[in-house]
Structure 1
Amino acid sequence: MADGIYVSMCGAVARAEQLDAVADNLANAQTPGFKAARPAFESFLAPGAAQDKRYAAAVATGIDLRPGPTQRTGNALDVVPEAGMFLTVRTAGGGTAYTRDGRLTLDPDRRLVSDGRPLLSPRGEPIVLPPDLEARVDAAGRVWAGDVEVAALGLARLDGPVDRVGPSLLAPGAGGRALPAEGAVRSGELELGNAGALEASIQLVSAQRAYEASLQAIQTYRQLDQRAVEVARVK
Structure 2
Amino acid sequence: MDRLVYTAMTGARHVMEQQATVSNNLANATTTGFRAQLDSFRAVPVVSEGLPTRAFVVDATVGSDFRAGPIETTGRALDIAIRDQGWLAVQSADGSEAYTRNGSLKISENGILQTSGGQTVIGDGGPIAVPPDTKISIASDGTVSVINDTFQPGPSNTLGRIKLVNPDSKTLLRGDDGLFRQADGTPAQNDANVRVVDGALEGSNVNPVDSMVNMISLARQFEMQMSLMKNAENNAAKATQILALS
Structure 1 residue 173, shift from structure 2 partner = 2.4
Aligned partner of 1:38 in structure 2 is 38
Given residue 153 of structure 1, which amino acid in structure 2 is its aligned partner? Answer: I
The yes-or-no answer on 1:154 pairing with 2:154 is no
Write the deviation string for residues 164-202 of structure 1: whole angstroms up to 9, x where unpaired.
125641112259973421122101111111111111111
SS across alignment from 1:180: coil
TM-score normalized with structure 2 length: 0.89
Residue 211 of structure 1 pairs with residue 222 of structure 2:
yes
Per mean C-alpha deviation after superposition, the further-off stretch among 98-107 and 222-231 is: 222-231
User: Deviation above 4 Å: which 4+ runs of structure 1?
Assistant: 174-177
Q: List aligned pairs for 1:67-106, cutoff 5 A.
A: 67-106=68-107
Aligned to 1:196: 207
Go from structure 1 to structure 2 and tell me whether the alpha carbon gap of 1:149 and 1:31 turns closer, same or farther (over 3 Å shift). Answer: same
Q: Distance in 2 between matches of 1:129 and 1:171?
A: 27
Shift of 1:79: 0.6
Q: Identity rate of aligned residues, in percent?
A: 26
> Which segments of 5 or more consecutive residues in structure 1 lack a partner in the other structure?
none
| Counterpart Cα distance in 2 of 1:179 and 1:150 | 20
Secondary structure of the 1:209 match is helix
How many pairs were matched up?
A: 234
TM-score of the aligned structures, taking structure 1 as reference length = 0.93
Query: Kindly tell me: are residues 219 and 178 of structure 1, through their superposed partners in 2, closer, same or farther at Cα, counting changes over 3 Å?
Result: farther
* 1:121-140 equivalent positions in 2, closer than 5 A: 121-123=123-125, 125-140=126-141
Residue of 115, 119, 122 corresponding to 1:120: 122
Aligned AA (1:126)? P
Task: Specify whether residues 176 and 129 from structure 1 end up closer, same or farther in structure 2 by C-alpha distance, changes over 3 A only.
Answer: closer
Greater mean deviation of Cα atoms: 42-51 or 15-24: 42-51
How far apart are residue 140 of structure 1 and its match? 2.3
Question: CA offsets per residue over residues 37-63 of structure 1, 9 Å max, x none?
Answer: 111111111233741112222322111
Does the 8 Å contact 2:97/2:187 carry over to 1?
no
Between the aligned partners of 2:47 and 2:178, the Cα distance in structure 1 is 40
Q: Which structure has the larger Rg over C-alpha atoms?
A: 2
